[in-house]
Amino acid sequence: MAYQLQVNGTAFSIEASGDTALVDVLRDDLGLRGTKIGCGQGECGACSVMMGERVVCSCLTPVSRATLFPITTIEGICGQAVAHADADAAPASSRLHPIQQAFIDHGALQCGFCTPGMIVAAYALLNRGGRVTEDDVVEGLTGNLCRCTGYRKIIEAVLDAGERMQRHE
Amino acid sequence: MNSPVLEAGVALPGEAAAASNEVGKRVLQHGARGRVNGEAVYTQDVVLPGMLYAAVLRSTQAHALITAIDVEAALAAPGVRDVITAEDFPGIKYVHFGAKYSDRYPLANGRVRFIGEEVAVVAADTLAQARDAARLITVKYQPLPVLLTPEQAMAADAPDIHDGDLTAAGKNIAQLRDLDFGDVEGAFARAAHVFEGVYEHGVVVPACMETNGTVADYDPENQALTLWTATQAPHFIRKEVSHVLGIPIEKVHVRGVNVGGGFGGKSKVCEQEALAALLAVRTKRPVKLTLERTEEFLSGKTDHAKHMTVRTAIDAQGNILARSTSVVIDNGAYTALGPVYMAAARARTASLYRVGAAHFDSRIVYTNKVPGGQYRGMGAPHTIWAIESQIDEIAERLGIDPLAYRIQIANQSGDTNPLGWQIKSCALSECLAEVGERIGWDEKRRNPKPWRGVGVAAMIHPSAGVIYEEGNFSNTRIELGADGAYKLYTQTSDTGTWQNTVLAQLAANALGVASEEVTVCHMDTQNAPLDLGSAASRVTFVTGNAAIRAAKALREKLAGHLAQLWECDAADIVLASRTAFDANNPARRVDLGEYVAEYGAQVCDGYYSVPTKRPDPDTGYGNYAATYTFGAQAVEVEVDPTTGRIKILQIVAAQDVGKAINPTAIEGQMQGGILQGIGMVLQEELVYEDNRPVNANFLNYKIPRIGDAPPIEVVIIESPEEDGPFGAKAAGEPSINATLAAVANAVAHATGIRFHKLPLTADRVLAELKKREGAKLDFKPLKRPYNVHVATVRSMYPAIVFPALRKVGTKFARQRRKGQRPEVLVANDLQEALRELAVAGRKAKILAGGTDLFVGIKQNVYDLDLLIDISRIEELQGVRIDNGMLCLGARSLLAEVSDSDIVQRALPMLAQGIRRIATPQIRNMATVAGDLCQEKRCWFFRSDLPCYQHGGATCPCFAVMGDSRHHSIIGAGRCAAPCPADLAPILTALDARVVAVSRQGVRHIPMEEFYQWSGLTTLRADEVLHRIEVPLVENATHAFEKYAIRKGDFAEASVAVRLRWQAERLVDARISLGAVSPLPIRATEAEQHLMLHGLSASSIKEAAARTIYGGLPLPGNHHKGYLLIELAQRALHGAAGRQ
């Protein structure tokens, strides 16, 4: 069956059975492999993507549902860097979203496997606007597991990114 | 020794300030860019033209002979290209630890020894095809007795898990070591005090975010095999794959990829490498074999469970005269690095602190469980927990402060311990003093606040362990390339440790350039010379030294040649970014790219071998490592006596790292290791039931979430180790070593209870606290007369019912289809959905969010032909107020309802309650109807065991005799699964009703009539849940209290309350209990008590005690009674207070 998807601002037509998980469509049909599979059961958050304004687990999203909203993956967040370019902190050519840059600057990643999902969840949190506290960060990233970092530097990075984004709003 | 202390977050004070000297600087992680923007390639991302996908058929028996395997149906299945079993391999076992420890074939060879063992593998065009085909393989098993624990395995009448001389040391004993260092007997004889304790723990797992996986590609023309694989040790992959396939090792190569965590779980060969490789050779197509998460839990190597008896002899001053330790280590079904693990764990028993003499007797025992391997610390975390628990007791007996005592007996530089370890650099005393001061030890130890405590523990860690038979050396290669920049090739693997960044810093420093000029290319065995891999805390020390030598050699070569060309001094040559110039005459410069174009790429190798001799193979005497890292951690905890929950308020960790090459890297490693330690001590364990783990998922194997991360203060202490690069020793791995002990010691201080079994889960702590209190729960089971019947049947379970039903009854179980892939039909309107539901002879279900359905389908709890997607049906969505009723459309997202202004104003308790359900992702997908209708989460049910719910009346309930900590305490019958939905008690308390629509009409179903059982509603097969109607009543107050193990988890217990008032008088009380019974129930006795006696504090207490009336707990879930009473009190106080 054919499904029309909007992913990172581009329209795609996909041939798949309706119960195919969005994460498989993204990775195998569209070659967008930044979104990772950590558990396939919605329990680790590595597969997080944006459906509209909401962060979801793409491993549990059937492609029949994915047609309803524009989808943003980690690759799409990267592409939004131009609008958010933090002229103070990074050269214009870096083209990374402030959240991505903050993760690098704070050493908030080790193996990096959870990182795309973590950044997407942070993106969902920070895009709601307003000041964000440590409790908000914990709340917003509860669905994202990390085994390497102990989370402290991730919290620092997200708080810092929130401030960087506020400065440019 | 005056060792400089590095403040966390602060750069090193002024050292060699040359721009090129980045040793000690907070260099950003190399390769981070690709990881944050999604470009980094991990094994699961590798795609090759014509690639096939493999799926493994795994053993469903814990111990059995394989009498027949029939793969014909699988071979004939669509898309299948090949199927392999043991006989397709050359019949060679993995080397692993070598010689007599070599016990494992790539696929089960006539016998299976644990549930999850690989029996056959299918390669097909798609993964779905491979999995479908694997299900068609039939295997005939002849069961053998299962030996699940070392105790069972060592029994005289136990069968041998392995044949032959593998277990000459004793029944199922893979290795036995009985060693003495010094006069242990004499020491115990003259001791002033002797302490003895038994300490034990179960199985924990590395749980990397990336599962194991391999892509194998075979080139038939050159007969060359290439592997992209998630590993820490490419060398061992080559060695083992070439060995079991009979391919020359020169023809087997590993390529570089990003690896998503290792922690030891990927430090030797696993199983999927050889399986993918053989399929690639046979099919002549690339083959990808990646493990699903459940498979990872079932077959990925674990840490080893241990039973330790520790005896310590001290003199009157507290000096440790001797330590004698007896350890039984659970090997699992095959020996991976068992003897090395044993040596490592055992070594920690007498190397931390000054010990006069030491004795070990240890045995590593085969059991029918997944094999143990290496996990961070190699047994040190638990071993140190045992030792340090006893050290606390010794201090107490001596009347010395536990911190002061540790400083008294601390290892010192220059010591040689009874094992023959020569301690060179050592800042243990400083580490202890630092953490003590920073946590406020004196004050908090002497005057702890109620239910708070502080604990301290230290650690020692072999840095660059000399454990390999092959020796302990490293080769690296550095190349100046056409771009004028440098590449450092190493066969080690950065699995997230930041080793590649550190190596770049070291090599760059030796060259005299900025670290960004050096790119480390890891893992690639074609380009990099031999190195043993990233394990045993060796990379910074051994590979680092080799990298420095390679870089120095290259610098000498370049400088020498340029000096010749320019007729100047080699010492005056400066290497800068992509250029080189003469410091005395900077006009004389060359672009290095051009230099390479003219003279070719410049390559130099560096070799470093650890000067330390390996210990004597017979006596075990000698240095275990090139050097030793030390550290200490102080922890402050707060214990909640009403729930048993241990909250870690703060941790201070100091580590003596010799030299911090990259402080940010070390901080990250320390924070990460400590959190793994927190998981180990508080909440992680594989729960074995019916011979398999029933918590093989992230929901129930509880690694710490972000909310579990306490503030961690990291202190880096530098006491240079002369052989280490810039004085560095290992810093990454050992941060986990002291955490368990420090936490346990803090808990002991807070509660006065010393636990001898880990993990310290809240239910165990609560049970122990209540036992000490002499508290008793009054369930009054006779209030539910049916309990008499249930209790009677339960009493017959051990001897009669369970054995009979498990063995015989399950043979008559209802036949179930498994692995169905239902079609999805998108319904455009309600009528279409109803029409489709009404079609006879087809198993159809409504698909709302899918968060329950898709997981359930995967776990074989749903068997469906069709899913009817209702996400287009307008009328099923939305939140509105209609005639004094809050109407929630069935497919409204949980997040939509909690975000709704209408709900937040009209019923804040509902909004707040929903926000406690699961995680943001799940709340953004799951619907209110889906939450109510979701299936049971009982881990027996979800692990596909043949229970009553799956198989019918001839099948047992596994919770009766099994681990029932999550199960019902009220209302269980043939099934004990509780209703997991939080909305169930909430909506029951709110007196809501469900509106169901069918072609016959509309039904209004009160919440209290909505459930038949957990996962089974009173909706008819042809009905669609349309909306939920919640009456908005005046003068009502509400509360919802939920207790979950981690934020984001299902409830262990919950209470929802609605009170209605007339002025100050209570006129109606609705108390609904969640997660403690198969359907939400009203605590009517509690309600009546409130109506009679009002809401004074004592009345609330009495009412809360009544919420458990009619309960009949199982042996494992008694604690839920306390939780319920506590939550009821909190909820009632909350609702009363809002009046």
In this structure, the number of other CB atoms found within 10 A of the CB of residue A127 comes to 13
3-state helix, strand and coil shares in percent for chain A, rounded to the nearest 5: 40, 15, 45
Q: pLDDT tens digit string along B1012-1049?
A: 999 999 999 999 999 999 999 999 999 999 999 999 99
Per-residue pLDDT band for B8 (boundaries 50, 70, 90) equals very low
Backbone angles phi, psi at B207, to 5 degrees: 50, 50
Does B603 or B338 have the greater pLDDT score? B603
Contact B1054, B1074 (CB under 8 A): yes
Q: Is the dihedral of CA B617, B623, B628, B632 positive or negative?
A: positive
* pLDDT of B405 above 60: yes
* pLDDT of B1060 above 70: yes
* pLDDT of B719 above 90: no
Is the minimum CB–CB distance between A84 and chain B shorter than 8 Å? no
Report the C-alpha gap between B459 and B735 in whole angstroms.
Answer: 9
Task: Give the per-residue pLDDT at B619.
Answer: 86
The greatest distance separating any two alpha carbons of chain A, rounded to the nearest whole angstrom, comes to 48
* Mean pLDDT computed over B797-814: 95
Task: Give the per-residue pLDDT at B613.
Answer: 85
User: For A43, which of B497, B676, B698 is closest by C-beta distance?
Assistant: B698
Residue for token digits 């287009």? Answer: B872
Task: Give the per-residue pLDDT at B728.
Answer: 94
Report the C-alpha gap between B19 and B513 in whole angstroms.
Answer: 8
Residue B114 DSSP class: S
Chain A positions touching B42 (Cβ under 8 A) are: 36, 113
* Mean pLDDT computed over B883-894: 97
* Mean pLDDT computed over B965-984: 97
pTM comes to 0.96
Task: Determine the distance in angstroms separating the CA of A48 from the nearest CA of chain B, rounded to an integer.
Answer: 8
Cβ-defined contact of B210 to A60 (cutoff 8 Å): no
A11-70 residues touching B, CB cutoff 8 A: 17-19, 21, 27, 32-46, 48, 51, 54-57, 60-62, 64-65, 68
* Mean pLDDT computed over A89-104: 77
CA distances from B866 to B549, B1017, B1111 (A): 65, 19, 39
Task: Kindly report the three-state secondary structure assignment for every residue of B1054-1118.
Answer: EEEEEEEEECCEEEEEEEEEECCCCCCEECHHHHHHHHHHCCCHHHHHHHHHHCCCCECCCCCCC
Q: Is the dihedral of CA B1018, B1023, B1024, B1029 positive or negative?
A: negative
User: For B36, which of A44, A100, A144 is closest by C-beta distance?
Assistant: A100
User: For A115, which of B35, B869, B919 is closest by C-beta distance?
Assistant: B35
Report the C-alpha gap between B688 and B702 in whole angstroms.
Answer: 15
Chain A positions touching B922 (Cβ under 8 A) are: 42, 57, 143
> In angstroms, how far is CA B309 from the centroid of its own chain?
26
Cβ-defined contact of A64 to B871 (cutoff 8 Å): yes
Task: Give the per-residue pLDDT at A85.
Answer: 47
Task: Give the per-residue pLDDT at B620.
Answer: 84
Q: A148: nearest CA in chain B? A: B672
* Mean pLDDT computed over B737-745: 98
Is the minimum CB–CB distance between A161 and chain B shorter than 8 Å? no
* pLDDT of A79 above 60: yes
Cβ-defined contact of A56 to B921 (cutoff 8 Å): yes
Task: Determine the distance in angstroms separating the CA of B827 from the nearest CA of chain A, rounded to an integer.
Answer: 11
Chain A positions touching B207 (Cβ under 8 A) are: 147
Chain A positions touching B651 (Cβ under 8 A) are: none
Cβ-defined contact of B698 to A39 (cutoff 8 Å): yes
* pLDDT of B84 above 80: yes
Q: pLDDT tens digit string along B918-939?
A: 999 999 999 999 999 999 999 9
Percent of chain B surpassing pLDDT 90: 91
Report the C-alpha gap between B533 and B465 in whole angstroms.
Answer: 12
* pLDDT of B14 above 50: no
Per-residue pLDDT band for A169 (boundaries 50, 70, 90) equals low
Cβ-defined contact of B40 to A112 (cutoff 8 Å): yes
Chain A positions touching B34 (Cβ under 8 A) are: 112
Contact B492, B546 (CB under 8 A): no
* pLDDT of A91 above 90: no
* Mean pLDDT computed over B146-150: 97
Tokens of B784: 């539910």
* pLDDT of A82 above 60: no
Q: pLDDT tens digit string along B841-854?
A: 999 999 999 999 99
Tokens of B982: 């939080």
Half-sphere exposure of B1034 (CA within 13 A, CB side): 2
Q: A135: nearest CA in chain B? A: B707
Q: pLDDT tens digit string along B19-58?
A: 458 999 999 999 999 999 999 999 999 999 999 999 999 9
Tokens of B177: 């070591």
Report the C-alpha gap between B364 and B330 in whole angstroms.
Answer: 6
Report the C-alpha gap between B3 and A106 in whole angstroms.
Answer: 27
CA distances from B507 to B21, B28, B559 (A): 10, 16, 16
Is the minimum CB–CB distance between A147 and chain B shorter than 8 Å? yes
Task: Determine the distance in angstroms separating the CA of B446 from the nearest CA of chain A, rounded to an integer.
Answer: 30
* pLDDT of B715 above 90: yes
Tokens of B496: 């997230």
Task: Give the per-residue pLDDT at A93.
Answer: 43
Task: Determine the distance in angstroms separating the CA of A169 from the nearest CA of chain B, rounded to an integer.
Answer: 22
* pLDDT of B15 above 70: no
* pLDDT of B266 above 60: yes
Chain A positions touching B37 (Cβ under 8 A) are: 34, 74-75, 78, 96, 100
Report the C-alpha gap between B254 and B574 in whole angstroms.
Answer: 36
Q: B858: nearest CA in chain A? A: A41
Q: pLDDT tens digit string along B521-541?
A: 999 999 999 999 999 999 999
Chain A positions touching B930 (Cβ under 8 A) are: none
The per-residue pLDDT of chain B, averaged, comes to 95
User: For B824, which of A19, A57, A68 is closest by C-beta distance?
Assistant: A19
